[in-house]
Amino acid sequence: MGSRTTNLHLINEVSRRVELSQKRIREYEKEGFIKPLREPRTNNRLYSDFEIEQIKRINHLIHERGFTLACLRNLLVLAPCWNIFACRRPQQCQAYHNPHQPCWRVRRQNGTRCPGPCGQCAIYLNRHVAKSKVLEAVAAVPMEEP
Ligand code: SF4
């Protein structure tokens, strides 16, 4: 691959590195959690190291922590990014010091420690998700009398 695509990986290599099927990786894209670049000539998906880490984290949250897709979307808009991505040194990041602003906005203004880019991050990709959807669904189910 040329210099523009250095450090970008084809889906078969990503599949091997994250130990997930190509089908599952494409499903995460379909569900709006990742957005790989496309190689202009072949239209092949190209994944950065940042996206590979995101795929691992999304898979962990769904398959090891038990989040449904709807809950995960709510988590992405409600929880701090340093918790979602288990950031090791949140205190060193501007996002941590501006918790009432979306991290992608903080990044534009002051920079953040994550490698980004935001346009390929699950948090940014899900920024328009309606926050109360899951809670409203839970509230609509009547509680049983004791
Ligand atoms: S890449 Fe952007 S959206 Fe993702 S955690 Fe960093 S600042 Fe937030």
Give dist(CA 101, CA 64) in Å, integer: 29
Q: Name the residue at shortest CA distance from atom 5 of ligand 1.
A: 81
pLDDT digits (tens, 9 = 90+) for 15-27: 999 999 999 999 9
Q: Is the CB of 28 under 6 A from ligand 1?
A: no
For the whole model, what pTM was predicted? 0.84
Domains of the chain: 3-127 (1.10.1660.10)
Model pLDDT for residues 52-100, shown as the tens digit of each residue: 999 999 999 999 999 999 999 999 999 999 999 999 999 999 999 999 9
> How far apart, in whole angstroms, are the C-alpha atoms of residue 13 and residue 24?
14
Q: Which of 123, 127, 128 to mutate to test the pocket of ligand 1 (most atoms within 8 A of CB)?
A: 123
Q: Mean pLDDT, the chain, as a whole number?
A: 89
- Backbone angles phi and psi of 107, in degrees to 5: -60, -40
Q: Name the helix (H) or strand (E) containing 37.
A: strand 37-38
